[in-house]
Chain A
Amino acid sequence: MPIVVKNLTHIYMPGTPFQSVALQDVNWTIEDGEFWGLIGHTGSGKSTLIQHLNGLLKPTSGEVIIDGVNINERGVNLREIRQKVGLVFQYPEHQLFEETVEKDVAFGPKNMDLPEEEIGRRVREALELVGLNYSEIKDRSPFELSGGQMRRVAIAGVLAMKPKVLILDEPTVGLDPRGRDEILREIVRLRERQNITVILVSHSMEDIAKLVDKIAVMHRGRMVDSGTPREIFRNYEGLSSIGLDIPQITHLMLRLKHQGKDVSTEVLTVEEAEAEILRAARRKGRA
């Protein structure tokens, strides 16, 4: 189920003194099963862009084609599109509203008019996918859970619709390190098990470098770059000129290189760095 974005431009409040161009001529193709990271400074248009991917916003000009369906066409079934493309907003726990966790997670599937047993099965499955114990948590109020648990319940609410593409807008913001690692681990596991396409919006270059296959970089409403993490993070000057950074560990390798050490700077994780430094040390020892 590929998503194709063609020459997408979006203007907020056109024709008023508050008019602002949020997206300008964005082109992007997302193939099945890819894991994308979307990075960019605050206000670069990331949120506007992802809201086009499930038809919450319509392009001012240009096209968004989801699974062969152009969302601009008249009579498009947006509900169906939103079921295929699950979108988890920032702070998704703010959208919880039901009396029990079970009912809240069931909201999405219920809107799809599924039979009762199917809804029940999906709720159980979704809660277990995000690492919660179904029978323990299903009858509790979502408002008495911890922050991390609330967020997982909210993510489960989207997963229960069995989307083929999952978009997560800063899923780890405001969580403690443990909660963050758990959520990210579950996203990876989810992708392995269900083989879905994932788009992760994040400010953490470490998380992005560790997880994704491809990165798209947004700056002032334009997509200025896209490619593999290695390609993207090679361009340190370019990234820092638009207010973005490279992973800390890549910084370290750059510093070592500057000091004259013979190491590769195309390193994105601590594990890779360890191997690379050991290799360099061994080479030196031999010489």
Chain B
Amino acid sequence: MREITIGQYIPGNSVIHRLDPRTKILITFAFMVLLFVIDDFTGYAFPAVFIIVASLLSGISLKYMIRGLRPLVVIILLTFVLNLFMIKGRVIYEVGPLDITYEGLHQGVFMVLRLVMLIVGTSLLTLTTSPITLTDGIESLLKPFSRVGVPAHELAMMMTIALRFIPTLMEETDKIMKAQMARGADFSSGNIVKRAKSLVPLLVPLFISAFRRADDLAMAMESRCYRGGENRTRMKQLRMTYADLVAFIATGLLAAGSLASRFIW
């Protein structure tokens, strides 16, 4: 469980870490759109360079980010294989009834690149932004929509709480699992029915503790007079700086470059 790096935050104080969360969210969003707009290999050189530069600036090794792809290897491989065989065109190799075409290979590699960059690019956002600042950023970006009925503060609060409790619940799961294993429980062998049954000693205590925590938290919030977002001020104000401007300009150049490359080459 601890192997999953997507969505994990690595504390740091790099330029990327210090960027305003809104900047990072908007840029990530633009980056994702761009990945879907670009449709040739030369165009992809730009986002690739962008990711490498950003990860160098963030001080988080590219190796660590690529390890985050591990849980998704199956999806990536499947994408590649499906594209390889399903696309009709010039045949370059035959495997039984299946044909590998030049177009299929091209498309397969292309889709894999797109997926990998999509995952690495977005994980760069969560790796360098603490969950709390991230939700602050989302709340601030959603605020204009609260006039049309989007409960920006409530959504952000729910997200903060959910994110805050992921590590706690993981720890709790680990603890209860070990406690039951110390009593001879076995979570990893037997058929599906047996395994599902073996989860009862884990899930019952886990649910009980989750409800107890929720109750405690609600009580603690209420006793500090929490009543939603009205008139709340913040200890940490979000503020755009010079660095954010640079980041936006860099993204603009990235978009212009990768789209223009289509016409130049």
Which listed residue, B10, B178, B186, touches A89 by the CB 8 Å rule? Answer: B178
Complex A-B, nearest 4 residue pairs according to Cβ-Cβ distance, in ascending order: A111-B184, A97-B204, A108-B183, A95-B179
Judge whether B184 and A94 touch: CB under 8 Å: no
A51: interface (CB < 8 Å)? yes
Q: How many residues of A contact B (CB 8 A)?
A: 25
Contact of A56 with B184 at beta-carbon distance under 8 Å, contacts A17-B64, A94-B205, A107-B201 already known: no
Residue in chain A with minimal CB distance to B11: A17
Interface string of A10-34 (1 = CB under 8 A from B): 0001001100000000000000000
Contacts of B209 in A (CB 8 A): 94
A54: interface (CB < 8 Å)? yes
A121: interface (CB < 8 Å)? no
Task: Give bound CA distance, A17 to B128, whole Å.
Answer: 13
Interface string of A167-188 (1 = CB under 8 A from B): 0000000000000000000000
Contacts of B2 in A (CB 8 A): 13
Interface string of A101-144 (1 = CB under 8 A from B): 00000011001100000000000000000000000000000010
Judge whether A86 and B184 touch: CB under 8 Å: no
Judge whether A82 and B184 touch: CB under 8 Å: yes
Residue in chain A with minimal CB distance to B5: A16
Task: Give bound CA distance, A161 to B183, whole Å.
Answer: 8
Task: Give bound CA distance, A87 to B179, whole Å.
Answer: 8
Judge whether B64 and A95 touch: CB under 8 Å: no
Residue in chain A with minimal CB distance to B204: A97
B200: interface (CB < 8 Å)? yes
B185: interface (CB < 8 Å)? yes
Contacts of B176 in A (CB 8 A): 94-95
A157: interface (CB < 8 Å)? yes
Interface string of A243-274 (1 = CB under 8 A from B): 00000000000000000000000000000000
Judge whether A87 and B182 touch: CB under 8 Å: yes
Contacts of A95 in B (CB 8 A): 176, 179-180, 183, 201, 205
Judge whether A86 and B182 touch: CB under 8 Å: yes
Residue in chain B with minimal CB distance to A143: B208
CB of A103 to closest CB in B, whole Å: 11
Contacts of A111 in B (CB 8 A): 183-186
CB of A15 to closest CB in B, whole Å: 9
Interface string of B145-187 (1 = CB under 8 A from A): 0000000000000000000000000000001101111111110
CB of A154 to closest CB in B, whole Å: 9
Judge whether B182 and A54 touch: CB under 8 Å: yes
Which listed residue, A17, A51, A83, A92, touches B184 by the CB 8 Å rule? Answer: A83
What residues of chain A have their CB less than 8 Å away from a CB belonging to chain B?
Answer: 13, 16-17, 51, 54, 56, 79, 82-83, 86-87, 89, 92, 94-97, 107-108, 111-112, 143, 157-158, 161
Contacts of B179 in A (CB 8 A): 87, 89, 92, 94-95
Q: How many residues of B contact A (CB 8 A)?
A: 21
Residue in chain B with minimal CB distance to A96: B205
Contact of A79 with B184 at beta-carbon distance under 8 Å, contacts A95-B179, A97-B205 already known: yes
Which listed residue, A54, A79, A143, touches B186 by the CB 8 Å rule? Answer: A79
Contacts of B204 in A (CB 8 A): 97
Contacts of A56 in B (CB 8 A): 178, 181-182
Residue in chain B with minimal CB distance to A13: B2
Question: Quick one: which of A83, A94, A95, A112 has the most chain B CB within 10 A?
Answer: A95
- 8 more A-B residue pairs beyond the given contacts A79-B184, A89-B182, with a C-beta to C-beta distance below 8 A: A56-B181, A79-B186, A82-B184, A89-B175, A94-B179, A95-B183, A108-B184, A158-B182
Task: Give bound CA distance, A51 to B200, whole Å.
Answer: 23
Task: Give bound CA distance, A170 to B180, whole Å.
Answer: 18
Residue in chain A with minimal CB distance to B179: A95
A-B contact pairs, 9 of them (CB 8 A): A56-B178, A56-B181, A56-B182, A82-B181, A94-B176, A95-B179, A95-B201, A112-B184, A143-B208
Judge whether A97 and B201 touch: CB under 8 Å: yes
Task: Give bound CA distance, A56 to B177, whole Å.
Answer: 10
Contacts of A83 in B (CB 8 A): 184
Task: Give bound CA distance, A56 to B180, whole Å.
Answer: 11
CB of B107 to closest CB in A, whole Å: 35
Task: Give bound CA distance, A82 to B180, whole Å.
Answer: 10
Task: Give bound CA distance, A94 to B213, whole Å.
Answer: 12
Judge whether A97 and B200 touch: CB under 8 Å: yes
Contacts of A108 in B (CB 8 A): 183-184
Contacts of A112 in B (CB 8 A): 184
Judge whether A158 and B10 touch: CB under 8 Å: no
Residue in chain A with minimal CB distance to B182: A87
CB of B85 to closest CB in A, whole Å: 36
Query: From residue 175 to 225 of chain B, which have CB atoms closer than 8 A to chain A?
Result: 175-176, 178-186, 200-201, 204-205, 208-209
CB of A84 to closest CB in B, whole Å: 11
Task: Give bound CA distance, A51 to B179, whole Å.
Answer: 10
Contacts of A79 in B (CB 8 A): 184, 186
Task: Give bound CA distance, A112 to B201, whole Å.
Answer: 16
